[in-house]
Structure 1
Amino acid sequence: MLKAEKIKKQYGNLAVLKGIDLSIETSEIVAITGASGAGKSTLLHILGTLDRPDSGAVFFKEQQISHLSASSLAQFRNQNIGFVFQFHNLLPEFSAIENVCLPAFIAGLGKKEAEKKAEKWLEKLGMAARAHHKPSELSGGEQQRVAVARALINSPAIIFADEPSGNLDEKNADQLHHLFFELRAEIGQTFVIVTHNTELANMADRRIVLEKGEVMRIN
């Protein structure tokens, strides 16, 4: 589904990524691990088209996407990619269902259709009763479930998650990890997850270990 070839990224004199090659298969759950500063989040942002490599290329289903225009990339992201971050990034003035609807609105769906899809995902993730609560009225685990529903609403081919359980207690983190695997089993969802969580990394189909901007090993 996704392939990166010779990805390099430098900030000033600091070489963050030094020629990364990797591929992600459909319905695969891949963990990217490594020490702080290894380049994990930078790589995730480049794979997810939030940032561009200095050199190298990213391919999605054989289409090179790393050199698309900004407007084409924005449309591509909205249609094909979902994101879940450590800090849920929910808009505080909106309810859970309104937050989930936002990517659907950007894709051009009408209010009724977007809300129907949002309700479906919130129900599936056990959040139907909290649909009209604002983020401040939700627990950390509930906020992340809303963020996952938001990532899923446009039926993306792949979800990128950057330390998704890093801000959760052990119980909520465990529930979130198992949710990813349930979604893979039920709908074939593909995940690429940057994590320091050893348990989650060990659960993944593959673990890509970065060190100083290079792939040291793939387990």
Structure 2
Amino acid sequence: MGAVGLLYVGAVLFLNGLMLLGKVEPRAAGIFNLFVGALQVITPTVLIIANLARPAQILGASGIYLFGFTYLYVGINLLGGFDTTGVGYFSLFVAVAALGYSYANFRILGDPAFGVIWLYWAFLWFLFFLLLGLKREALTGYTGWVTAIQGWVTAAIPAFMILTGLWRNTALLAVILAVLGVVVFAALWPLTHMRPSAPAEPSPGGGEAPLARGREHRHRPRWI
């Protein structure tokens, strides 16, 4: 059941990444965030109730709430047009907690591949903290690409592999994921920061023309 929820986490991360890149309207993305957020709260609740005598299963399910609450929070923010600092600082909490769950997967649950995936999530949610909590808007494009890519690499593809019985040799998968993450996310940084900004159009009275200011506003996600 957890793998089913993980599949749709991949979908919502991909959608949210496209939203940050300006491809999806924020309110439209907000509705799907509510769907996945609700699923990611119901799923761990059912898993915990069904495994009350199995601490390892409860440990694994408990981390799902971090994402369920994130997507519900984001969905409400997008639909209500609220300030993003609450989501941003909650993302900092998730990023720190993800480090703990990474350790648990390496040392307790015996799944090093998901240990690496939790490190991916710690990195992504820290980017959310910088972007939404500290309003570092220069990170919008980079965060959008990282989010969209992680939707596939950390959620949709692993979920499909688990559902089809292909999630094996997790030590090898961990190495592949670690190398892929370092290479791809390091390469993305210069690619998302090399576009020169358009020069401001001077207005007759001096300063930046209203047209230029309006163009900048249109390219900035409205929920940031």
Shorter-chain TM-score above 0.5: no
Higher Rg of the two aligned structures: 2
Larger helix fraction of residues: 2
TM-score, normalised relative to structure 1: 0.31
TM-score, normalised relative to structure 2: 0.31
Larger strand fraction of residues: 1
